[in-house]
Structure 1
Amino acid sequence: MRRFLAVLAGLLAAALVWEGYKAVGNPEGTVVFGVRVLPRADDLSMPHLWTIAERLGAPELTGGRPVWQVVLEACLFTLGITAVGFVAGAVVGLVLAVAMQRFRIVERGLLPYVILSQTVPLVALAPLIAGWGGTIMPAWATVSVIAAYLAFFPVAVGMLRGLQSPASAGVELMRSYAAGWWRTLVKLRFPAALPYLFPALRLAGAAAVVGAVVGEISTGTRGGIGRLIIEYSREATSDPAKVYTAMLGAALLGLLVAAAVTLLEVPLMRHRRHVEVVTL
């Protein structure tokens, strides 16, 4: 309940900041030394929140379905693609982390390239991966590959840090029991890595959503929220609130993925704390 109230308070604060800036902000934006540091506060750039809410309930087109239904279907489509990319990226990240922890030479040789991989601009990589669509894999799978590309990095780095976190005394104790590498990994390193793993998974989930949205935009995959943002952006001058409905859907999709990881974290971390208390 405390966390739920904190989330509500954060949303309320964000709404107050939005409407407060719209009330006192410059319609042309705040410019300092010729550089706009704050956005325009006019209705075209920043519609009222109630205007966006009203647009969600209005028909997308004359006599058509309401906007909220179209956005929901697009989010569900992107959620499926994101889930595939997130799972694939998490598995790749876990495998890389275990390999780098097991072999120091793999860590020294591979970790710099893992970090370097995230410096490649996604807008440059997405068209290359999009070329695989229709030949190697279907179009939606190429978007999942882009999502997995962004998701594996935080899992690999966070899990590696977690696997290396046990104290040397704990490792020596496992050796005194004649425990091999695999048993030490399962009994000691994996439980110790859980506090590092779940924050990394939340970051990976958010990154997978970003990758899926950007991938849909870059590859032209229809049916998802990324493509819907592009389609609604064409009406930004005549119907600015409509653009924000799609952006709101993408933001809620990221929160949904992070919440799913949190639901998985709660029972596992509670069990871990219970084990620690019993051990003490």
Structure 2
Amino acid sequence: MRRAVFFVLSIVVFVVLWEGYKAVGNPEGTVLFGVRVLPRADDLSMPHLWTVLSRLGDPELTGGRAIWLVVLSACFFTLGITAAGFLAGAVIGLLLAIAMQRFRLVERGLLPYVILSQTVPLVALAPLIAGWSGTIMPPWMTVALIAAYLAFFPVAVGMLRGLQSPSAAGAELMRSYAAGWWRTLVKLRLPASLPYLFPALRLAGAAAVVGAVVGEISTGTRGGIGRLIIEYSREATSDPAKVYTAMLGAAVLGLIVAGLVSLLELPLMRHRRRVEVVTL
């Protein structure tokens, strides 16, 4: 209930800030020392929110489908790619975290490269991945690979911290029971990592959406919300509200993915108290 209230309040705050700035902001933008620090507040750059919402009900083309149907179809297409990339990235991140926790040498040798991998600009990397996999993978799988590239990092880092979170007393207790590494992992470390896993999965879900959208744009994959943003951007000067409909679809897609990831937490809520007891 509290999350729903905060979600509604965040939407209200966003609407107030958007329309408030549009009402009082400079149509040419606020310039400070020759640098524009605030965006333009004219109708071309910042259409009214109700204009964007009303544009959703208009046909995309004369006699064609309504824009909201086109955006919804594109979101479903990208959602499927995002799910594939998210699952692949989560599995890879989990396996890397387990390997780094098990072998200190692997952690010292691999963790710097895991961190370094996220410093490469995705816009530059996406065409390379498309070129490498273009002959052996369908376009959607290439985009899913790009999404997985962004999704694995928060899972790997978050799970590693979670797997290392049990106290020395808890680990010593497992050794006193003659528990091997695998049993200690299942009975102690994995339950203790749950409070770290779920925030990491939320970040991974958001990263997978970004990766899928950027991947669609960079590789030219048709059918998704990323490609739709590019197509609608061509009409930015004549129909700016149409551009924002695609951007709104991408934002809603991110919220849907975050909500679906949060649902994964519900079946495991009963483990929270066990985690707190074991890790004391």
Aligned to 2:96: 96
C-alpha RMSD over aligned residues: 1.3
Aligned to 1:143: 143
In 2, distance between residues paired with 1:277 and 1:199?
Answer: 17
Unaligned 5+ runs, structure 2: none
Structure 2 residue identity aligned to 1:223: G
- How many Å apart are 1:274 and its aligned residue? 4.6
Unaligned 5+ runs, structure 1: none
Distance 1:274 1:111, change over 3 A: closer
Aligned to 2:223: 223
Please give the secondary structure, in 2, of the residue aligned with 1:131. Answer: helix
Distance 1:102 1:276, change over 3 A: closer
In 1, distance between residues paired with 2:276 and 2:67?
Answer: 51
Please list, as runs of the form range in 1=range in 2, the aligned pairs for 1:18-167 lying within 5 A after superposition: 18-167=18-167
Please give the secondary structure, in 2, of the residue aligned with 1:31. Answer: strand
In 2, distance between residues paired with 1:217 and 1:227?
Answer: 5
Question: Is contact 1:150–1:211 with CA below 8 Å preserved after alignment?
Answer: yes
Structure 2 residue identity aligned to 1:186: V
Question: Is contact 2:134–2:142 with CA below 8 Å preserved after alignment?
Answer: no
In 2, distance between residues paired with 1:257 and 1:188?
Answer: 29
The alignment status of 1:191 with 2:182, answered yes or no, reads no
Question: Is contact 2:28–2:42 with CA below 8 Å preserved after alignment?
Answer: yes
Count of residues in correspondence between the two structures? 279
Structure 1 residue identity aligned to 2:51: T
Aligned to 1:249: 249
Question: Is contact 2:56–2:66 with CA below 8 Å preserved after alignment?
Answer: yes
In 2, distance between residues paired with 1:12 and 1:257?
Answer: 21
Structure 2 residue identity aligned to 1:252: V
Question: Is contact 2:162–2:189 with CA below 8 Å preserved after alignment?
Answer: yes
Structure 1 residue identity aligned to 2:267: P
Q: State the TM-score, normalized to the length of structure 1.
A: 0.97
Aligned to 2:3: 3
- How many Å apart are 1:73 and its aligned residue? 0.2
Please give the secondary structure, in 1, of the residue aligned with 2:264. Answer: helix
Which digits, 9 at most, give the CA deviation of each residue in 1:229-262, with x for residues without a partner? 0000000000000000000000111111111111
Which digits, 9 at most, give the CA deviation of each residue in 1:186-243, with x for residues without a partner? 0000000000001000000000000000000000000000000000000000000000
- How many Å apart are 1:9 and its aligned residue? 0.7
- How many Å apart are 1:132 and its aligned residue? 3.6
In 2, distance between residues paired with 1:132 and 1:149?
Answer: 14
Aligned to 1:260: 260
In 1, distance between residues paired with 2:272 and 2:254?
Answer: 28
- How many Å apart are 1:133 and its aligned residue? 4.6
Which digits, 9 at most, give the CA deviation of each residue in 1:48-71, with x for residues without a partner? 000000000111011110000000
Question: Is contact 1:82–1:212 with CA below 8 Å preserved after alignment?
Answer: yes
In 1, distance between residues paired with 2:20 and 2:79?
Answer: 33
Question: Is contact 1:132–1:142 with CA below 8 Å preserved after alignment?
Answer: no
In 1, distance between residues paired with 2:275 and 2:166?
Answer: 14
Query: Which one is further off, 37-46 or 121-130?
Result: 121-130
- How many Å apart are 1:108 and its aligned residue? 0.2
The alignment status of 1:169 with 2:193, answered yes or no, reads no
Question: Is contact 1:126–1:218 with CA below 8 Å preserved after alignment?
Answer: yes
Please give the secondary structure, in 2, of the residue aligned with 1:36. Answer: strand
Query: In percent, how many aligned pairs have the same letter?
Result: 81
In 2, distance between residues paired with 1:162 and 1:206?
Answer: 20
Aligned to 1:179: 179
- How many Å apart are 1:277 and its aligned residue? 8.2
